[in-house]
Amino acid sequence: MSLDMLQTKTLLSVRDLTVTLTTEGCDVLRGVSFDLAPRQILSVIGESGSGKTVLARALASWLSEPLEITGGEILFEGRNLVEDPAFARHLGGREIAYVGGNPAGALDPTMTVGAQLVEKLRAVRPEISTQEARRKAIRLLEAVKIPAAERRFHEYPFQYSGGMMQRAMIVDALMSDPALLIADNITQPLDVTVAAQILKLMRDLNKDFSTAILFICSSLPVACDAADEVMVLHGGRVVERQVPSGLIASPEHAYTRTLIEELPTLWTGTRESAPPPSRDQQAIMSVRGVAKHYETRGASGKAQVQAVRNVEFDVFPGDNFGIVGESGCGKSSLMRLLTGLERPDAGTIFFEDENIGQASPKRLRALRRRFQLVLQDPYGSLPPQSPIGAIIEEPLKIHGLGNRAERRDRARAAMSEVGLNVASYDSLPTGLSAGQRQRLNVARAMVLEPRLLIMDETLSALDQTEQGKMLNLFERLQAQHGFTYIFISHDLTMVRQVCSRIAVMYLGETVEVAPNERLFFDPGHPYTRALLSAAPTLEKRRYLPEECLLEGEPPSPIDLPPGCAFAGRCPHAFDRCLSETPRLQTRNAQALAACHLIDGGVAQ
């Protein structure tokens, strides 16, 4: 490769690239043009359907039917890849590497990660010996901070966590020393704290390995964090390209301006967040010392997964109670306990005056009239063969409420309340969008007029605009019917917007319970601070990631370390944290946190 000569000029130059969806005859990319210099990081941002992923795939020569390049050129080091598909394929995996957003399924599950890294390098560079390839793979695994790389080299993909797998895929891309790395939504499936680590890693790699990076993502804060320049794609066209600070300060295109305006904020801006309801009244749901474990078979016989431990909180009538935490922290297991789908091993869950954990199945069914659940997946949670009206009426039938005409009236009323067209009463849910499906789910839950609605990641499948509309709907319904909400979510920005009180979970435990303002401005637990520091935002950060979080990932819930579960990643950990498990304790005025620093153990 005559890379040296071109080093100073452009590496990749895209001119008037047009990609057409041949079945529909419409263009997905319309005359996209941009240049990428060697070693540059360029973010590409746009809403879903703006053509980001199509662009990534076109550059990686990975377009498949019915998508087709119908115009323009892709010049890589001066050679047009559109006219020379054989050369383009030759570059794939060598000079142009691609990392996708789904690390979980990206490698063969039956081969060790190491063997596949070696296989890949030997496939594109047969002259390299297996020994050499192996040494290189281990060196790169160390470079992306995979602990015990030598041992991990011999492990299978299923033994890697999501974050580690994404690192391994980055190694896979870097094995052949590519000149261009296309990173397509690589932080999308990762938890915020892990995603922050990956972003930092990518910047370091860009420095150390002098690889140009095309960073495609759908979150503006992440894109600005990651790149030297940000390019905005809208409707298949490049509408704007600026350095991040310039883009935020003076967006040129209308789309960018709305994007920035509508971006929910964490610390700035006014919000009329309702004050937490008074604690004098009786709690509607009261959770004390709840624990749940599951049995799995581990390396040496049976093992226990501690999914939920020491969970404690109260939810008061009229509350918007948030439960946040990263994947694997036990949110969903807790949801199954709160709704009586499973029974806790220890502790009590009082709904009004009854212990859900011990209620008889019959009693539980009667109680469910007063608390309802809305799930995450808008597609899997609705029966595809039932008409919309029947879906909403079903809970009424189950509980034997009303006659046919009354049920019909109530279903129609619920439909119009959530903003579904009443005329679609008899049609199937097939044609509904994700947002409409979640409205239908809400209608089904509220038709029983429950007191408590539990929302398990109800909004995470929706885009920013649709989320905003749904939150308005929740607020209106609360005003009209006096609902109490529990929002289970991984999304801090969403929780910040709507919740009055928030519980933070880490490895099955509630480590902090505090009112909204207090949690965001004066968090009592180091993990909360770490979570806040990693949240993607354009605002000036209150908490700096470098100060709040050590490298690493949560320990496995199978072999929990003694003492505080967060100690291994906590920058403030001291001796006591490694031996004694902290309990939730009051930090004056309604805020609780489980940390030894609070009672002044050893102040930092």
Partner 1 sequence: MSLVRYLARRLAQGALIVFLVSALIFTLLRVVPGDPVRLMAGGMAPEALIEEIAADMGLRDPIYVQFGRYVAGILQGDLGQSFVRPANGAAVGGASFDDSTRGERAKVWSLIANSAPMTLQLALLAMIFALVIALPIGVWGGLRPGAWPDRFALYISSVFVSLPNFWLGIVLALLLSVKLQLVPAIGYNGFAYTILPAFVLAIEIAPFIIRTLTVSVAGVMSQSFIDIAAVRGLTRNQIVFRHVMKNSAVPLLNLLGVQFSMLLGGVLVIEFIFDYPGLGLLTINAVMQRDFPLIQGIAIVTAAAFVLINIVVDLAATTIDPRLEY
Q: Which residues bind partner 1 (CB under 8 A)?
A: 60-62, 92-94, 97-98, 100, 102, 105-111, 119-120, 123-124, 156, 158, 172-173, 176, 297, 299-301
Are the C-beta atoms of 45 and 255 separated by less than 8 Å? no
**From the CB of 99, what's the least distance to partner 1, in Å?**
9
**From the CB of 177, what's the least distance to partner 1, in Å?**
12
Evaluated on CA atoms 75, 217, 538, 573, the torsion sign reads: negative
Q: What's the CA gap between 443 and 139, in Å, rounded?
A: 55
Q: What's the CA gap between 569 and 551, in Å, rounded?
A: 7
**From the CB of 114, what's the least distance to partner 1, in Å?**
13
In DSSP notation, 403-453 reads -HHHHHHHHHHHHHHHT--GGGGGS-GGG--HHHHHHHHHHHHHTT--SEE
**From the CB of 330, what's the least distance to partner 1, in Å?**
24
In DSSP notation, 117-130 reads HHHHHHHH-TTS-H
Q: What is the largest CA-CA distance in the chain?
A: 82
Strand 509-515 to 592-593 pairing:
antiparallel
Q: Where is 350: in which H helix or E strand? A: strand 346-351
Contacts 24+ apart (CB under 8 A), 89-94: 89/61, 91/61, 92/60, 92/61, 92/62, 93/120, 93/123, 93/124, 93/176, 94/124, 94/125, 94/176, 94/178
**From the CB of 299, what's the least distance to partner 1, in Å?**
8
Q: What's the CA gap between 192 and 399, in Å, rounded?
A: 41
Name the residue nearer to partner 1 (CB basis): 97 or 514.
97
| 373, two tokens | 């659940």
Name the residue nearer to partner 1 (CB basis): 78 or 105.
105
Q: What's the CA gap between 264 and 498, in Å, rounded?
A: 11
**From the CB of 133, what's the least distance to partner 1, in Å?**
13
**From the CB of 15, what's the least distance to partner 1, in Å?**
23
Closest alpha carbon to 402 in 453, 447, 451: 447
Q: What's the CA gap between 1 and 373, in Å, rounded?
A: 59
